[in-house]
Structure formats: structure tokens, C-alpha cells
Chains A and B, each alone.
Chain A
Amino acid sequence: MSSRQDRRDRLASRAVQVGFLAALMALWYLGTAYWGVSPLLLPNPVKVWHELADILGSGEYLPDLKVTLGELAIAFAISCTSGITLGYLISRSQYAIRVFEPLLAGVYSVPIILFLPLYVLFFGLGPGSKIAIGTSISFFPIVLNTIAGFGYVDKIYVTAARSMGASDFQMFRHVLLPAALPVILTGLRIGFTVALLSILGSETIASLAGLGHRIVHLAEAMETARMFAYIAFAVAIAATLNTLTSSLERRAKRQ
């Protein structure tokens, strides 16, 4: 295919994308403004935009955002330290890998969100139960990827380093860590994403504060326009954080 036609193809697909999104927006606007879709189900996009501007301008979102991000930071810190430490310890022996890896993978296949009612019973409706659910969901990808990273370093590198007289620390710093880091970073990124999702989800289900709580609160008050604005805000925050972690991962892998 010539490069000229290729360029034209690319342009056409961009046009289709823009057209699709524009049609969606137009349908949304027409549906709410003229065709009488109930504003309780789907508010007018212009109204949502005003609400969003109001939320951002008044700084009303700050307390909720602080709660959610605080929970996320604590949960991710706990699952990182415990996941990487435990993963490293298990990966030191092939036997331990064969004992523990299927066990952890088995628990990982259970939808851990099921334990949320239990955590609410243990830790109450406050941040405690959200931190617990975020930690236990993000722990598994981190520990499994740490095991995969450290446990399956090519034997030939280890043997070569040993035979050249590398100390334990040198072995860790210059052989194991560089080999394992990309896999571990992937685990950390997945862990971060699922921690954020599960914290937003558990705030939606049962909570006292946080972005998820705010959205539910507005839904129950039937303030749909403001709820849409908060949803857009939460999605934007999540997208920003995910893009940030992905680019951090890519940058760290390149080194």
C-alpha cells in the first residue's frame, strides 16, 4: 500500500472516530433537549457542564478526593511492601514457588470483592474497610508478578555472575533486580489500577465519604446532572492516575 493511501486511510479512520463521538454528543443533546428523555435518567449535557464547572470552581470535591486518594495511597503502600517482600522470599526457593504460587493464583481467581461485607463487619463503614479491600485485591497481582520476576531469572545469568565471583548483594543489584524489574513493574501497575477500582467500588457500595460515596449520594438525591459531573470528574481522575502509572512503568522499563 502506498504511503499516500495509507495517510488517507488514517485520516478517514480519525474522521470516523471524531464523527462517532460527535454523533454521540449530538444524540445526547437532542435526546435531552427535544425528545423528552427524562432528566432523571439522562440530564442535559449543557447542565452537566455547568455543574462540573461549579464543582471544580467551588473546590467542593477536595474533601472527597482527599479521602479516596488517601485510602488508595495507604492500600497501595501496604500491598506493595507486603507483596514484594513476600514474593521475593517465596521466589528464593523453587520448592516454595511450587508450594505457594498455585495457592496464591487460586485465591486470586476468586472475586475478592465478595469479602467486602466481611470487611465492613470487621473495620466499619469508614476508610478501614476500603483500605482492606484495596490492599487484598492489589496484593495478588503484585506478589504473583514478583514471584514470576525473581523466580524465573535465566539460570545462565545467575551461574555466570556466580562464577565471576559476584557477592550476594552484587547478584541482587546487577542480575536479579534488572531481570525482574519489568515484570514487577507490570504487577505494580495492575495492582494500582485494581486498587483504585476496588476502592471506588467499595465506596459506592458502603461508605461515609469519598468520590464513590458522593456519586451514590447524588444518585439517591436524584440530582442526576451533578452526579454525571462527578462521574466525569472521577473518570478523569482515574484516567489521569492510570496514564501516569503507565508512563512511569514505561520510563522505568526503558532504563
Chain B
Amino acid sequence: MSATASVRKTFLRHPALARLCVIAALFLLWEIAARWWVDPIFLSPPSRVVSELGELFETNGIPAALRITFWELAVAFAISVAIGLVVGLAVGLSRFSNRSFMPIILLLYGTPQVTILPLFILMFGIGPASKIAFGVSHGVFPIVVTIVAGVQNIKPILMVAARSMGASRWQIFRWVIFPHMIPSFFAGMRLGMTGVLLGVLLAELYVSAAGIGYFTTLFTQNFDPTRLLGLISVLAAMAIVLNEIVRRAEVHFGRWRTD
């Protein structure tokens, strides 16, 4: 009686523990379903997926494919941040260009870019270039929009104060705009990372000569759920790590505001 009561109390005090139990229950359900209910050509139990992860990495071409995909993500992200920063500042810092170009940027941001995916392949080929270009097309808009919003949100009184104390344009940028931009810059980077991941993975899944898209298609056509699930898990882990890095950076660099 007291034992169950104390177990109850522990669970109530630590929701994370209950969360772990939910996750474990889901995995158990998956394991049971895969072992006894579902045809093994469609679904593999998680135990087998994990135990054959090593074999997956020894499959010819998989490490190279993961490296290519990671490289595409990194390059696409770097280009998105560079373009997003330049365009965001150019549009955000001037009232006129903001009024003129923001509607165009929002219009482009709102169009579903997946529909022009075949166009990217036609223009950039089936190699990494088209994935990077498509990733940039998804990553750049959230960065631009967030940076513009961040620059616009600077209190006018700060600008006026800095100017009346005789700050030069560069000094205003360095000491007023730049620190205010940091939080929105990192928020934009997080959204941009989500976009880049979506864009690159979409393009990979659509057509791929040596990247992970090639192998997901291969494993699907061979009815090899074990390795397919293994590959998807590795990619999901990669996505989570990348998202977590930019999220941590956002929390870290946005902190001065709340202090």
C-alpha cells in the first residue's frame, strides 16, 4: 500500500519519468506489433533495427550518402544564413525598401515551393547542387522575415538617443542594431534550419544519385524495412541534433534580453 503510494508520488513529482514510460510503452507496442501482427516485409521490430544498425553502416555507399546529405545541409544552411542576413538587413534597415520589397518577399515565402522542385532538378541536375539550391529556397525566407522583424522592433528612442549623442552610422549599427538583432537572428536561424532540413530532404527523396534518397528508394523497393527504418532513425537523429544546436544557440544568445 505505502509502496504503491510512494511510486505514485515519484511519478507525480517527475513527469519526465512518466514520459519515459510512455515512450517505452510505444516502443514495446511497436515491438509486439512487428513480431506477431504485421507482415515482416512491411515492419521490423525496433530491437532488430537497432541490432542491425552496424550492418547498415557497412552497406556499400551508406556512410558516403550520409556524408553527402550532411554536407548538403551544412552548405545550404550557410548560404541561407548569408543571403538571409544580407537581404534581411538591406530590407529591414530602410523604411522605403521595407515597404517596397517586404510584400514581394512575403508573397514568395507564401508560395508552395514543392511545386517547383522538378524545375530545380532540371536546372541544377540530380547531384548535390539541386538539393542545396532547394534547401536554400526553403531556408532563406524565414531568416529574412525574422531579421526584418527584429530590426524593425528596435525602439525608436534608442536610435534617437544614439544619434543625438553623435553616434556615426557604423556606431549605431554596432552598438544599437547589432545587439538587438542577435535574438531574432538566432530565432531566424532556428526556423531556417527547419526549412533547410525540409528542403534538402524533400529534394533527396525526390531524386538522388548517391545520397540518402537513393537508399530510401532502394530499401523501399526491396521491401527491406529493417534497413529503411535504421536509415530513417539515423537521419531523424541528425535532424534532432542540428535543430537542438541552433535552439541552444538561440536560448544562449537571446538571454541578455530577459536578464
Contacts and interface: CB of A to CB of B under 8 A. Distances in A.
Contacts of B117: 201, 204
B100 A216 contact: no
Contacts of B100: 12-13, 16-17, 20
A211 B116 CA distance: 12
A116 B201 CA distance: 11
B232 A118 contact: yes
B116 A231 contact: yes
Contacts, number: 128
B120 to A, nearest CB: 10
A237 B64 CA distance: 40
A234 interface: yes
A235 B115 CA distance: 7
Interface in B50-99: 95-96, 99
A41 interface: yes
A120 B201 CA distance: 16
B42 interface: yes
A229 to B, nearest CB: 12
A121 B228 contact: yes
B121 A235 contact: no
A120 B121 contact: no
Contacts of A239: 110-111
B232 A98 contact: no
B235 interface: yes
B220 A99 contact: no
A98 B121 CA distance: 44
A67 interface: no
A242 B19 contact: no
Interface residues of A, number: 50
Interface of B is mostly: helix
Contacts of B232: 114-115, 117-118
Interface stretch (A28-36, A103-111, A247-255): A103-111
B205 to A, nearest CB: 5
B236 A110 contact: yes
Contact of A13 (B96, B114, B116, B216): B96
B157 interface: no
A114 B201 contact: yes
B114 A212 contact: yes
A102 B19 contact: yes
A10 B228 contact: no
Given A95-B15, A118-B232, A238 B111 contact: yes
Given A16-B100, A103-B23, A114-B236, A109 B115 contact: no
Nearest to B217: A117
B112 A103 contact: no
B172 interface: no
Given A111-B201, A115-B232, A117-B220, A235 B112 contact: yes
A137 B64 CA distance: 29
B122 A111 contact: no
Most buried by A among B23, B110, B243: B110
A36 to B, nearest CB: 16
A103 B119 contact: no
B15 A99 contact: yes
Contacts of A20: 100-101, 104
B123 interface: yes
Given A111-B198, A235-B111, A121 B223 contact: yes
A121 B197 CA distance: 22
Contacts of B103: 17
Interface in A190-239: 196-197, 200-201, 204-205, 211-212, 215-216, 218-220, 224, 227, 231, 234-235, 238-239
19 contacts: A13-B99, A16-B100, A17-B103, A20-B100, A40-B122, A98-B15, A99-B18, A111-B197, A113-B202, A121-B220, A196-B112, A197-B112, A197-B114, A200-B114, A201-B117, A204-B206, A231-B115, A238-B115, A239-B110
The 6 residue pairs across chains A and B that have the minimum distance between CB atoms:
A219-B118, A98-B15, A16-B100, A13-B99, A13-B100, A201-B114
Given A111-B239, A117-B216, A239-B110, 7 more contacts: A9-B95, A40-B122, A41-B123, A99-B19, A111-B198, A201-B202, A238-B115
